[in-house]
Amino acid sequence: MIAIIDYDAGNVASVEKAFRKLGRKAEITRDPAVILKADHVVLPGVGNFGDAAGNLRKYGMDEVIRDVVRKEIPFLGICVGMQLLYEGSEESPDVPGLGLIRGQVRRFPGGEGRKVPQIGWNSIFMMNGDELLDGVPNGAFVYFVHSYYGKAENTNCVRAVCGYGPIFDASIQKGRVFATQFHPEKSGNVGLRILDNFVHVK
């Protein structure tokens, strides 16, 4: 069973629908017992970093996520769910992230014809292959909606990058922790391949 963490950060229903399309059982929950018994755990998210981090702590999901990581249950963060893995964000400078990835989340600079937020399809380029991106072609187009981007201190955890002005972390992995800045649930067949890869991670 796939546990999708519900912390009032939106986008959970579309993630659940994508797993159903793959024939997988997914449950939207904030019950620690359900999450810690799951085979795989997903943290989706859209919106403000500070609000999302505050909700994680309000519902005790920050400690549950740490337990998931300690138990080595495969974990996937999506969009803001990825940004929360870093130490902090320029969007909410006084709010700490989970600190599972050393690095910061920064705001895209404007100008040069770029609109902020980045909304739409963009290419990702592989850095260090992993199970999550197995079978995804280099340069594949995926769907983004974000004004902020993560930059890990150690590039060994970066699995794919994207360019929108700055080059930024599009996908990361550390142990059984995976994350994408883009939305696989909105990225067509490429996104479904990524989600299917995730549920096959043991």
Cβ atoms of 162 and 131 within 8 Å: the answer is no
Q: Is residue 79 among the annotated active site residues?
A: yes
- Closest by CA to 122, choosing from 181, 178, 45, is 181
Catalytic residue among 16, 146, 162, 183: 183
Across the beta sheet with 125-126, the strand order is 26-29, 2-5, 40-43, 75-78, 177-180, 167-174, 158-163, 125-126
Catalytic residue among 16, 40, 79, 146: 79
Could you tell me whether strands 40-43 and 177-180 are parallel, antiparallel, or unpaired per DSSP bridges?
unpaired
Cβ atoms of 42 and 4 within 8 Å: the answer is yes
Beta-bridge mates of residue 143: 121
Catalytic residue among 16, 40, 146, 185: 185
Q: Is residue 183 among the annotated active site residues?
A: yes
Residue environment code for 19-54, b if the CB has 16+ CB neighbours within 10 A, otherwise e = beeeebebebbbebeebeebebbbbbbbebbebbbb
Q: Is residue 157 among the annotated active site residues?
A: no
Q: Which residues are catalytic?
A: 79, 183, 185
